Structure 1
Amino acid sequence: MERARIKGVGRKCLMLFAIILGLNSCREENVQIIEEELAYVEPVIDDVYEFGFNLNDYYVKRDTVRAGDSFGEIMQRHKIGYPRIFQIAEKARDSFDIRKLQIGRPYTLLCTKDSLQEPKCFIYQPNREEYIVINFQDSIHAYTSRKPIKYVEKEISGIISSNISETLAQQGISFILAYKMSDIYAWTIDFTRLQKGDRFKVIYTDKYIDDSIYAGIDNIKAAVFEHKNQPFYAFEFETDSIKRIKDYFSEEANNLRRAFLQAPVEYKRISSRYNLSRRIALYGNKIRPHKGTDFAADIGTPIRSTANGTVTKSSFTRGNGNYVKIKHNSTYETQYLHMKKQNVKVGQYVRQGDVIGWVGMTGNTSGPHVCYRFWKNGHQVDPFREKLPEAEPISDALKTKYLDYIAPIKVQIDKVEYEVEVDEPADDLITQVP
């Protein structure tokens, strides 16, 4: 009996010991769980704003308009029914014509953050700066806005070794800067005849969208180009604050431009000149006067207004194709024929150098070119035989203001240092290593 009682007590002690061990084990597991919970901190997600919305509040879908896409098809593809699509389109039409979606342009859908991912907002970007919002989360409304743009002023200098584009490319600068400079100095320096050793300094502005997306060179503030050891200064100055007309003038307030550009396009060659006695074999060698100048260029090459003026025609005829006509003043008018597409409307004011269309082959033409026609006092003339007027100088009332304006800018550009040319060492100075 006594032995049995001892065995029973021993068995109870073992069970109690096991329970105690189990409790300690559970306590350790609980402590470990609590420690892990205390150690875990939910990460803080920074707000990400674009188009005026916090993107963290939505499931974001991005895409581009595809061939055959319409606003309705895009919406239906994302499970929005036609009655709702019609309602959205009707409400938004006063602010945006949904039929104007262009192939290749990006759009963004802001959707609910659930399993349905139901679209609540459609954002379309017709270009890199503008965007159109159609918001249908609660009430339906549409509006156009622009992304924030930052302008950064920069300075650069260069010494010509072969051509200006190559000199800029060596510094990682866009050839667009060379184009803008050649436009400024179009009547002062022939950029096809630059000499080795010619040098330049430029103060220009780069444009950035959303602080980080590079959007190209915006404008040139000032430049000085030393050609054949003679410096040519150019300073941008606004001569008309109402029409926002700007031009480039020298340090002595002389206009660097002429009233008309020599050509409306960067052309390969002049394929046909103004000729009142022209005979064409295709028409039986009959005389068919050509009252324009044909500049051959690739399709899509920008066509620019050769002077400031107002668009009087932007239309199409069987012979002219797509064309634009501009009235510059009571004496001069110009016309630009065979465009692929116009870029201006009747009544629009354009400045010298503005893109008014693109080279095409519309109308009666056998190849891509722009036919440039020039009127003086209502009669078509050859602009290359005319003594064209100088560009308007700065008025006496503005001259003092201009000189005061450019004074600190001239000091700034004069302080820009030229790149140091590293000369090859002379042969007699080279140390030979045995």
Structure 2
Amino acid sequence: MQRIYIILLSCLLIASCKDEKISNDANEKVEIIEKPVVIEAYGFNLNDFVVLRDTVRKGDIFGDLMLKNKVDYQKIFRISTEFKDTFDVRKFNVGKPYAILKSKDTSEVAQFFIYEDDKINYTVLDLRDSINAYRSKKNVKYVDRVASGVINSNLSVAINEQGIDYMVTNNLSEIYAWSIDFFRLQKGDKFKVFYKEKYINDTIYAGAEPIEAAYFEHNGESFYSFAYQIDSLNKVTEYYNEEAKNLRRTFLIAPVEFKKVRISSRYNLNRRIAYYGYKVRPHKGTDYAAPMGTPIIATANGTVEESTRRGGNGKFVKIKHNGTYSTQYLHMKNQNVKKGQYVKQGDVIGWIGMTGNSGGPHVCYRFWKNGVQVDPLREKLPVADPIADSLKTKYLAFIAPLKSKLDSIPYTEVTLDNQLITEN
């Protein structure tokens, strides 16, 4: 009996050893060897380098930064002289991010310098034996975006409350700068717009692209706009309406950006002021109040007739645009142009001030037609050339799906309790 017990015990021990071996073999087969995670940026595997990331600080000098990271004088000199068209060491701007990729050994010598020109574009300096410099850009994903709104106070609020990029407000104001008086938007005015948003690596927001098409309803009147490129050689894009008419006019409505100012006094030939005993004192200009130093821009192309200081006008600029129209800009802090100088629409000709008879910082904008001062906000100003008849059929076919898309976008409105509602 004892012998039988010993035999059984031996069998159990042998089986146990086999099970343990099988178990160990199984464990060996499923063993996972983790590989290091590859971190890529700027076209490099960052695992191959010691990486230094920073931003340019006040007082930083490119040469000093390179010397600290063991780049010799000769290489620094070559970069500053041979590659200045690609990377100008003098334009080493405060706040710009950069990265230095250093050798992964005890010396940690800088091998590459990457300077971020903006969120998307960057410049690479190859600091190894054969010095080189080139520009590149991060992978960008473009996402279609539509937006709409009903204005209860002003355009900026209607857009910002929806979390839409503020550049959309700026772009809309530029598109309609010739046709809509943004200082007189009405409650209930509406807009629709579509454009593309940019994302780096699918997740990092990098801003909005120019508007592709828009619709604005102001005071019951409809304004369509479609981006269209006629001059493909120079890549000039203009905005036209549904009838192929150019939205751009000879004159901008205002000599300042609408978002920075307010109209403090309008053209009024019957104005009465308490200070003068309520006597009629005509105001033949439009006053735009803004912070001191706000840029004043030329509303149209022309030649500077005067840039001087005189009496109650203070410092001013007067521009002759053609045989019919002239404009004048009063109470400047300083002028930025001289008599005889040719200026283009949008050029900065001076800055908001309060020289002369002025109760606060503003520009008094005066507008002459055939030698008579008139109200520019009531003038039907000349428009730019429409699309040529030979191109009109192609243009109308191009905008047809865009217009259909605009018309199908519902309006989004922000209520007083910050709730978003939509209406067709």
Residue in structure 1 matching 2:216, options 221, 225, 238: 225
Q: Retained in 2: the 8 A contact 1:297–1:368?
A: yes
CA offset digits 1:166-225 (Å, max 9, x no partner): 222232113332332233233443333333333222122223345433232222211222
- Residues 15-414 of structure 1 aligned to structure 2 (within 5 Å): 39-50=31-42, 52-93=43-84, 95-266=86-257, 268=261, 297-298=290-291, 301=294, 306-307=299-300, 356=347, 384=376, 388-414=381-407
Shift of 1:139: 0.4
Cα distance in 2 between the residues matched to 1:32 and 1:413: 67
Shift of 1:150: 3.3
Quickly say closer, same or farther: Cα 1:376–1:111, change in 2 above 3 A.
farther
Task: State the TM-score, normalizing by the size of structure 1.
Answer: 0.64
CA offset digits 1:333-362 (Å, max 9, x no partner): 9999978999xxx99x98x66xx5697589
SS at match of 1:99: coil
Cα distance in 2 between the residues matched to 1:271 and 1:92: 52
Quickly say closer, same or farther: Cα 1:91–1:36, change in 2 above 3 A.
farther
Range moving further from structure 2, 324-333 or 192-201:
324-333
Amino acid at match of 2:165: S
Aligned residues between the structures: 361
Unaligned runs of 5+ in 2: 1-19, 267-284, 309-316, 418-424
CA offset digits 1:298-354 (Å, max 9, x no partner): 4675666645x79x99xxx9xxxxxx9999999999999978999xxx99x98x66x
Which entry has the higher C-alpha Rg, 1 or 2? 1
Quickly say closer, same or farther: Cα 1:81–1:184, change in 2 above 3 A.
closer
Quickly say closer, same or farther: Cα 1:123–1:294, change in 2 above 3 A.
farther
Once the two structures are aligned, what percentage of the paired residues are identical? 49
C-alpha RMSD of matched pairs (Å): 5.1
Cα distance in 2 between the residues matched to 1:56 and 1:335: 62
CA offset digits 1:374-402 (Å, max 9, x no partner): 9999x9x9995997532222221222221
Quickly say closer, same or farther: Cα 1:159–1:375, change in 2 above 3 A.
closer
Amino acid at match of 2:151: I
Task: State the TM-score, normalizing by the size of structure 2.
Answer: 0.66
Cα distance in 1 between the residues matched to 2:125 and 2:398: 45
Q: Retained in 2: the 8 A contact 1:300–1:340?
A: no
Quickly say closer, same or farther: Cα 1:90–1:32, change in 2 above 3 A.
farther
